[in-house]
Structure 1
Amino acid sequence: MFPRLRAQGPTVLIPLAWAVVGLAHLDVVSDRAVLIFHVVAAVLIAAFAALSWDEMETDVLRVWRDILLVGLLLTVGGIVGLLVVQLRDPFLTTTILGWMVVPGIGLYYTGKRVVTGQRAYTAGAVLSVLGAAVYAGGLFPATNAALLAGIGLALVGQTVGIAQAVRQPRETPSG
């Protein structure tokens, strides 16, 4: 059961994470709930990385292992931002933008390295990075519609990418 959960869990967890971010922007979920979600996410990311470390030693999977490590740092930064009021805005903004851009880069790289699913990975990359651009543009001045649109783009893009990865878990690189 655990290998299956490890392989397919991200297809639920990634869109769930972005949904929580969107709901937090709408003040539907409390800061405490967002903090708990960040702590749980950090534990899950660390556990996934530790349990998958040896399987993620080469090529595309090595890039995703690095993305998990950067993502863990981003998530811990989000925890700090939620706990230290003076750091809230810069740390949470960095966490959100980082989680949009870093997986976007990974999806782009993956799309260039695999034979099957190149379009899905590339589309996911474009949507994720476009989401970051829309979100960043919505910060100055703060526009909830733009922030939510950016979150939505990242949600769709990263969900497309992880769904492709689950469909093609043992893809061999093309180059």
Structure 2
Amino acid sequence: MFRSLRENGPALLVPAAWSVVAATVLGLVSTHALFVAHVVMSVLLVAFVVASWRDMAAGALRTWKFVIVAGTPVTLAGVAGFLARGDAVPALAAAVPADALLAVAFYGWLLLPAPAFVDTGRRDPNTARRAVYYVAAACSVAGAGVALVATSPTQVVAGVALVAVGQTAGILAATLLY
């Protein structure tokens, strides 16, 4: 059962995570909930990479292992950003660049998977899956660009939605179609 969770969990967690981010941007979910999600994801990332270390030793899986290893401190930057803002624990608010830390987490996860999708596509002999991976990479970069130039929460959510659709399609191609 644990192996099945490791293999299929990302296909559920990716759209769930981006949905929480979008809902937070729109004010439908509290920043405290997003803080808790960052803490939970940090634990899950570490548990996943530890449990899968040997399975992710070569090929595209090795590339994804690097994404997870790099993504852990990116996610922890989000945790630190919320703590620095005082949203999570007001008594811990500090003179730390909270917005910069939160931007590292946000843009980090918008962009980190893009090179791994390209690498996965380059390695996959299946033309249809390869196209999905390349589109996933393009959606990650384009969505980050949309979010970067956004002038309203709705426009930020449009960027997040583009990333979510692309990354979810890429993860589904890897888990369901492989």
Deviation at 1:168, TM superposition (A): 4.1
Counterpart residue number, 2:113: 103
Query: How many residues are treated as equivalent by the alignment?
Result: 166
Runs of 4+ in 1 over 3 A off after TM superposition: none
Tell me if structure 1 keeps the 8 A contact 2:117–2:137: yes
Deviation at 1:56, TM superposition (A): 0.6
Q: Distance in 2 between matches of 1:81 and 1:157?
A: 26
Counterpart residue number, 1:120: 132
Q: Distance in 2 between matches of 1:24 and 1:105?
A: 27
Which residues of 2 match residues 1-175 of structure 1 at below 5 A? 1-85=1-85, 86-116=96-126, 117-138=129-150, 142-169=151-178
Deviation at 1:88, TM superposition (A): 2.3
Length-normalised TM-score, structure 1: 0.91
- 1:132-153 Cα deviation digits (max 9, x unpaired): 1111111xxx321221111001
Q: Distance in 2 between matches of 1:135 and 1:102?
A: 15
Give percent identity, aligned residues only: 36
Q: Distance in 1 between matches of 2:26 and 2:154?
A: 10
Deviation at 1:154, TM superposition (A): 0.7
Tell me if structure 1 keeps the 8 A contact 2:121–2:134: yes
Counterpart residue number, 1:172: none
Unpaired runs of 5+ residues, structure 2, are 86-95
- 1:95-127 Cα deviation digits (max 9, x unpaired): 111101110111111111111210110111111
Q: Distance in 2 between matches of 1:146 and 1:115?
A: 36
Q: Distance in 2 between matches of 1:58 and 1:110?
A: 12
Amino acid in structure 2 at the alignment position of 1:134: V
- 1:53-90 Cα deviation digits (max 9, x unpaired): 01111121111000001111110000000000242211
Tell me if structure 2 keeps the 8 A contact 1:80–1:87: no
Amino acid in structure 2 at the alignment position of 1:13: L
Amino acid in structure 2 at the alignment position of 1:156: V
Q: Distance in 1 between matches of 2:23 and 2:154?
A: 13
Amino acid in structure 1 at the alignment position of 2:130: Q
Which range moves more in the overlay, 153-162 or 27-36?
A: 27-36
Length-normalised TM-score, structure 2: 0.90
